Amino acid sequence: MAINLEMATLGGGCFWCTEAVFSRLNGVIKVVSGYAGGWLPNPTYEEVCSDRTGHAEVVQITFDPNVISYRTLLEVFFDIHDPTTKNRQGNDVGSQYRSIILYHNEEQRKIALEIIDELNKTKYHGKIVTEVVPFKEFYPAEDYHQSFYDRNRNYPYCRVVIDPKIRKLMTNHSRIIKIKTS
């Protein structure tokens, strides 16, 4: 039986954080940190951090929709970052840290807008600033950014910023976490 994989591209602050979270979800096949939403082709990390490329730090998630839905991915996305702060997540400031959903098709756009509408009515009271824009191009980040959290768990940023997000994921979404066999 053929598996029809889908793609989601999301930015919720530092891609080290979002990659660490989404890579732990059952049904997620692959997560790549990178840049999207801007105009400069093949940007470097330094260029994106200059805040002059239009790109956000994002993750591109390959997932099996028969195991995890796009809606569930977005529910986790909105739970692990603050979608009410423009161009900022905690101490990370700049447009590269903005909350952004880059939809790959009309169905993804529709689901994103529905969830934003629901959350604006129930939790955020109209304050969500997440951009919902069509996906155009994704540029993978440099190799040293990939799987950063899993390779650098004792790095202070990982302990102070990412660890709490992982704990929140484990608490709020334990039913969809990958089970480690090793």
State the catalytic residues: 14
CA–CA dist 71, 114 (Å, integer): 10
CA–CA dist 59, 119 (Å, integer): 22
For the chain, how many helices (H) and strands (E)? Answer: 7, 8
In the block, tokens 């109209």 appear at: 126
Q: Report which residue type is found at 146.
A: Q
Evaluate whether 79 touches 42 at the Cβ level (below 8 Å): no
What secondary structure does DSSP assign to 155-174, as a single string? SHHIIIIIHHHHHHHHHH-G
Q: Report which residue type is found at 75.
A: E
